[in-house]
């Protein structure tokens, strides 16, 4: 009888250990679920805030915002340059430096639509803006362009993705912009006779075709605009 009692007590203790173990596992699962829920709430909040910023075109010039917010579906205003270019994170700073306020160019169907938009801004006293037609004219280069270069240089156009209907817009703005490793390399390349391109480094230093050098410690203000599409995609992936 004593042996049976000892066996029963041992089994009882084993069952109690299993129950305690299961309870601890449950508490662990509940903690993980709570952490996952909190993370999801944070991601959703960030995504909603970013969507609101994008919808309101925050950070854009007053005239650009006015035209974009007043645009009609299927109308002549198609969007803004920053919204049709997907830029890898490692190249965002270079693209922002190379394009600058051209990221805020409003894309319109025809050049005449740009004229109408400027008239609207003037009549409503709602600021200024720049408008690029969907099929912009390519300006011939006097000298060697980006296609003549090789080695450790890359056309910035080849490092980004562009929605197909807007390919010609991107080509007009980026086809003669070349990414170089650093400012010294860029300057050496600029000094070569006949090379007429804009040179930009990953750190956002720029040498234009005339030899004007731009750079410094502050990042380009347009970098935040460039990064919005990537951030929205990452947040969408995190939420799903």
**Per-residue pLDDT, 1:** 60
Q: What count of Cα atoms within 13 Å lies in the side-chain half-sphere of residue 80?
A: 30
**Angle CA 172–167–206, to nearest 5:** 40
Residue 82, pLDDT above cutoff 70: yes
162, 185 in Cβ contact below 8 A?
no
Long-range contacts of 205-211 (CB under 8 A, 24+ apart): 205/97, 206/97, 206/98, 207/183
129, 153 in Cβ contact below 8 A?
no
Residue 31, pLDDT above cutoff 60: yes
DSSP secondary structure, 88-137, as one string: -GGGHHHHHHHHGGGGGPEEESSHHHHHHHHHHHHHHT-----EEESSPP
Residue 3, pLDDT above cutoff 70: no
How does residue 149 score in pLDDT terms, banded at 50, 70 and 90? low
149, 75 in Cβ contact below 8 A?
no
**Other beta carbons within 10 Å of 120:** 15
Long-range contacts of 113-117 (CB under 8 A, 24+ apart): 113/76, 113/77, 116/76, 117/67, 117/76, 117/77
**Other beta carbons within 10 Å of 186:** 23
What percentage of the chain reaches a pLDDT higher than 90?
52
Mean residue pLDDT across the chain: 87
How does residue 63 score in pLDDT terms, banded at 50, 70 and 90? very high
**Other beta carbons within 10 Å of 168:** 18
Residue 139, pLDDT above cutoff 90: no
Residues 6+ apart with CB under 8 A from 190: 199, 207, 211
Reading the block at residue 165, the tokens are 């209907």
**3-28 mean pLDDT:** 79
Alpha-carbon span 90 to 57, nearest angstrom? 23
**Per-residue pLDDT, 200:** 96
């Amino acid at each position: 009888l004593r042996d049976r009692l000892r066996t029963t007590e041992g089994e009882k203790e084993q069952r109690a250990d299993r129950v305690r173990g299961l309870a601890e596992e449950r508490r662990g699962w509940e903690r993980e679920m709570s952490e996952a829920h909190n993370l999801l709430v944070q991601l959703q909040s960030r995504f909603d805030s970013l969507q609101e910023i994008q919808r309101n075109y925050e950070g854009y010039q007053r005239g650009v915002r006015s035209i974009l917010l007043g645009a009609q579906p299927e109308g002549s205003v198609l969007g803004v340059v920053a919204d049709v270019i997907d830029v890898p994170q490692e190249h965002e700073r270079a693209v922002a430096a190379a394009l600058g306020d051209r990221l805020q160019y409003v894309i319109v169907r025809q050049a005449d639509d740009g004229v109408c938009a400027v008239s609207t801004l003037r009549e409503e006293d709602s600021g200024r803006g720049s408008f690029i037609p969907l099929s912009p004219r390519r300006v011939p280069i006097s000298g060697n362009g980006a296609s003549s270069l090789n080695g450790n240089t890359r056309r910035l156009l080849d490092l980004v993705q562009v929605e197909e209907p807007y390919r010609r817009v991107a080509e007009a703005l980026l086809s003669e912009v070349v990414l170089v490793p650093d400012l010294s390399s860029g300057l050496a390349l600029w000094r070569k006779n006949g090379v007429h391109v804009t040179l930009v480094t990953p750190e956002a230093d720029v040498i234009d075709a005339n030899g004007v050098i731009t750079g410094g410690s502050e990042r380009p203000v347009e970098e935040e605009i460039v990064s919005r599409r990537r951030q929205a995609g990452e947040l969408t992936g995190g939420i799903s």
